[in-house]
Amino acid sequence: MSEEITPALFNHLVELAALELSPLEADYLRRELNNQLKAIHELEAMPLDPQTPVASHGVPYPPSHSPALRADQVDPYPDPARLLQTAPEIEDGFIIVPEIPHQKI
Amino acid sequence: MELFELTALEIARKVRNREVSAAQVLESHLHHITAVDGVPGTLGGDQNTEPDKVHAFITLTADRARQQAAAIDAQIAAGQDPGPLAGVPVSIKDIFCVAGTASTAASKILANFTAPYTATAVERWEQAGAVVLGKVNLDEFTYGSSNESSAFQPAPRNPWNTAHVPGGSSGGSAAAVAALEGPISLGTDTAGSIRLPAAYCGVVGLKPTYGRVSRYGLIAFGSSLDCPGPLTRTVADSALALGAMAGADSRDATAATVPVPNYLAELEKDVRGLKIGLSPDYFRITYFDAASGDLMEQPVPASVRQAVLDGAQKLAQRGAEIVENIPMPHTKFGIPAYFVISRVEAASNLHRYDGVKYGYRTIGQVEDLRSLYRQSRAQGFGLQPKLRILMGMYVSAAQYSEQYYNRALRIRSLIRRDFDEAFQRVDTLLTPSTPAPAFAIGGIYGDSVLMQYADQLLVTGNHAGVPGISVPAGFEESGLPLGIHFFAPDFREDLLFRAGAAYEAASGPRNLAPAWVRGASSSLEVQS
């Protein structure tokens, strides 16, 4: 069986994922993706009624188990400066980033 | 008996009765940790350092713990009750935020991250009187079943045989509890990550019902699958630990508003009258044949099967009714569906790491913001997060999502249906915890398919959301521990505790820790 994740498709995924890989990493990751897909294709062995619902989680959430929605009001974080301290580079309360790619209209 | 050998229930009772102080309990544990744990995992550390030590910890917060213990003792002196975990030393998997401490997810990308807030589960244990020893190691972002993928080396080792893995991803938690480095550790379970290392290390591991414990402050992997839960040496300590952290939380909309029972009282009810099911679908395993590249099936090893059947017999002797041949036909699709669902959720959750808001930022020159993203993520993530991001993006892409993602979500419905139908006939299901005991370090690391299939008997519980508990079931001929496992319906952890405690009682006294672990502290005294 030919490889499902070809080098070209793999490179496209790497671009979408905002990653950069060494050749060694790329070899390993592409091989493991194709191996995992062999396992994933086992799902196709299961005859599936198209009416079978999708389950985004296992446990049902009836109203009796669900918390009430919060009031729709602003609830400021008590210490935003503490959050900003975790940013790699800040200045005057702003997070600093390099040039943002853009096109002049 | 040394204080570090006591259970959490015994420690809390003695502290509340003023037989010992929280400070004495803490110092006993810190002294013992010095003797058995060795150097902590550090970024860029050598995996082969001190191969005869446990290496459960990344960060030991001894000063913070001493302040907490002093506060507990002050409460006792003032005649106040610090709570059900009074003076109990606990460790926390380093995937939870604890304010003011490093919260790394065992990844370079978060190695410099100091959490600005505390996870609800940790906060509730602290409010119940627990003393936090520090943060324990794990697979990077929880992605693995061995702890070998941690960016913080040396990774934890199995205290019963340090040439073997402790399991994962809550391997530091399981190793710490097994090595008497605190009677309780907080872990997480997305496909078996509490229960598998618990089985490998001969301790009790509970995955509560999805929504039983708040996920606030947990660094997310698979948001529809992740469950915080305790690892302990006894079932009673597991009941104590869950009771102290379960319940609704206004900061997590998926934390259910189901009342929390008194689990310790429920545990006393034993198993008379309970119906316990056995399923043939949990007595066979799927494995990836490297030679042919095909997935093969075979029965579980005889020792694993026998451990479950012995458990059933013991419970039957205490009055449980054993019901055989419960069909669970979709069990074998658990891992293939997990390969899809968890990767989609992981890829989504990992997009937040970009070198901008927190965590690692590349120190190299970058042209623009896009280049900053790429280089920060390339240098900050290890191989396992990268693998999950790429698979998640592929199977959820518009042109493939019906074939992969939606199909996996439909099969998840069928796995859930298996449990719904089973629990119309029985109260709990008894299964093996794992297909085999702990594998050797280096044995399968790198083979992501084989590694994932170690979880195949547990992951169905994460798909369905139902709770499960792994309980120690003696030792294989190799001397490594085995576990047996119970599933129960949603929010019926009480049934798990009843079955687990009954099995524990029927099995008689067991060796709770390896001899070298018990003797390590005294040898430290001789040397010093």
pLDDT digits (tens, 9 = 90+) for B250-279: 999 999 999 999 999 999 999 999 999 999
- In this prediction, residue B290 carries a pLDDT of 66
SS3 content of chain A, % helix, strand, coil (to 5): 40, 5, 55
B70–chain A Cβ distance below 8 A for any pair: no
Tokens 């190691």 found at: B137
Among A37-41, B176-180, B419-423, the minimum mean pLDDT is found in A37-41
Strand runs labelled E in B27-102:
42-43, 57-60, 89-93
Mean pLDDT of chain B: 96
At B458, which amino acid appears? L
ipTM of the assembly?
0.95
Q: Which backbone phi and psi does B337 adopt, to 5 degrees?
A: -65, -35
Q: Do A36 and B354 touch (CB under 8 A)?
A: no
B366: which chain A residues are within 8 Å (Cβ-Cβ)?
98
What is the DSSP secondary-structure string of A70-101?
PPSS----S-HHHHHTTSSSEETTEE------
Q: Band of the pLDDT at B444, cuts 50, 70, 90?
A: confident
Dist. CA B447–CA B343, nearest whole Å? 16
Q: Band of the pLDDT at B524, cuts 50, 70, 90?
A: low
- In this prediction, residue B255 carries a pLDDT of 97
Q: Do A55 and B409 touch (CB under 8 A)?
A: yes
Q: Band of the pLDDT at A1, cuts 50, 70, 90?
A: low
A20: which chain B residues are within 8 Å (Cβ-Cβ)?
374-375, 378
- The tokens describing B35, both together, are 């003797």
- In this prediction, residue B528 carries a pLDDT of 42
A21–chain B Cβ distance below 8 A for any pair: yes
For residue A18, the distance in angstroms to the closest alpha carbon of chain B comes to: 5
Distance set, CA B168 to CA A22, B156, B439, B464 (Å) = 27, 10, 12, 21
- The tokens describing B512, both together, are 């709770």
Tokens 């006894």 found at: B234
> Among the residues of B329-422, which ranges form H helices?
334-350, 369-380, 383-395, 407-422
For A38, counting Cβ atoms within 10 Å of its Cβ (0-12 exposed, 13-18 middle, 19+ buried), the class is: middle
Q: Which backbone phi and psi does B140 adopt, to 5 degrees?
A: -50, 120
For B89, counting Cβ atoms within 10 Å of its Cβ (0-12 exposed, 13-18 middle, 19+ buried), the class is: buried
Dist. CA B329–CA A47, nearest whole Å? 13
Q: Mean per-residue pLDDT for B62-89?
A: 98
- The tokens describing B314, both together, are 């013991």
Dist. CA B25–CA B11, nearest whole Å? 8
Q: Do B394 and A13 touch (CB under 8 A)?
A: yes
CB B167 within 8 A of CB B205: no
Q: What whole-number percentage of chain A has pLDDT above 90?
A: 70
B290–chain A Cβ distance below 8 A for any pair: no
For residue A104, the distance in angstroms to the closest alpha carbon of chain B comes to: 16
Half-sphere exposure of B84 (CA within 13 A, CB side): 16
Among A56-65, B73-82, B311-320, B466-475, the minimum mean pLDDT is found in A56-65
Q: Mean per-residue pLDDT for B110-122?
A: 97
Q: Do A52 and B413 touch (CB under 8 A)?
A: yes
Dist. CA A61–CA A38, nearest whole Å? 34
Check whether A45 has a pLDDT greater than 90: no
A16: which chain B residues are within 8 Å (Cβ-Cβ)?
393
Please write the tens of the pLDDT for every residue from B373-407. Answer: 999 999 999 999 999 999 999 999 988 899 999 99
By C-alpha distance, the chain B residue nearest A69 is: B253
The residue among A35, A36, A72 with the most chain B CBs within 10 A of its CB, best to mutate, is A36
All structural domains of chain B: 3-268+501-527 (3.90.1300.10)
- Asked if B193 is an active-site residue, the reply is yes
- In this prediction, residue B527 carries a pLDDT of 47
B354–chain A Cβ distance below 8 A for any pair: yes
CATH topology of domain A1-47: Histone, subunit A (1.10.20)
Q: Do A58 and B412 touch (CB under 8 A)?
A: yes
Q: Which of B21, B107, B150, B193 is catalytic?
A: B193
Q: What whole-number percentage of chain B has pLDDT above 70?
A: 98
For A81, counting Cβ atoms within 10 Å of its Cβ (0-12 exposed, 13-18 middle, 19+ buried), the class is: exposed
The residue among A14, A38, A86 with the most chain B CBs within 10 A of its CB, best to mutate, is A86
Q: Mean per-residue pLDDT for B406-421?
A: 97
Please write the tens of the pLDDT for every residue from B315-331. Answer: 999 999 999 999 999 99
A83–chain B Cβ distance below 8 A for any pair: yes
- In this prediction, residue B523 carries a pLDDT of 62
Dist. CA B112–CA B328, nearest whole Å? 45
Q: Mean per-residue pLDDT for A50-73?
A: 91
A26: which chain B residues are within 8 Å (Cβ-Cβ)?
none
- In this prediction, residue B450 carries a pLDDT of 80
- Asked if B107 is an active-site residue, the reply is no
CB atoms within 10 A of CB B296: 10
Dist. CA B451–CA B288, nearest whole Å? 10
The residue among B391, B403, B447, B492 with the most chain A CBs within 10 A of its CB, best to mutate, is B391
Contacts of B249 (CB under 8 A, 6+ apart): B120, B214, B216, B255
Q: Do B412 and A44 touch (CB under 8 A)?
A: no
Q: Do A33 and B373 touch (CB under 8 A)?
A: no
So where are chain A's domains?
Answer: 1-47
Distance set, CA B442 to CA B47, B164, B270, B488 (Å) = 11, 9, 41, 34
B451–chain A Cβ distance below 8 A for any pair: no
Query: Pick from B303, B174, B163: which is nearest to B231 by CA?
Result: B174
For B161, counting Cβ atoms within 10 Å of its Cβ (0-12 exposed, 13-18 middle, 19+ buried), the class is: middle
A53: which chain B residues are within 8 Å (Cβ-Cβ)?
410, 413
A28–chain B Cβ distance below 8 A for any pair: yes
Dist. CA B88–CA A2, nearest whole Å? 57
Q: Mean per-residue pLDDT for B283-298?
A: 81
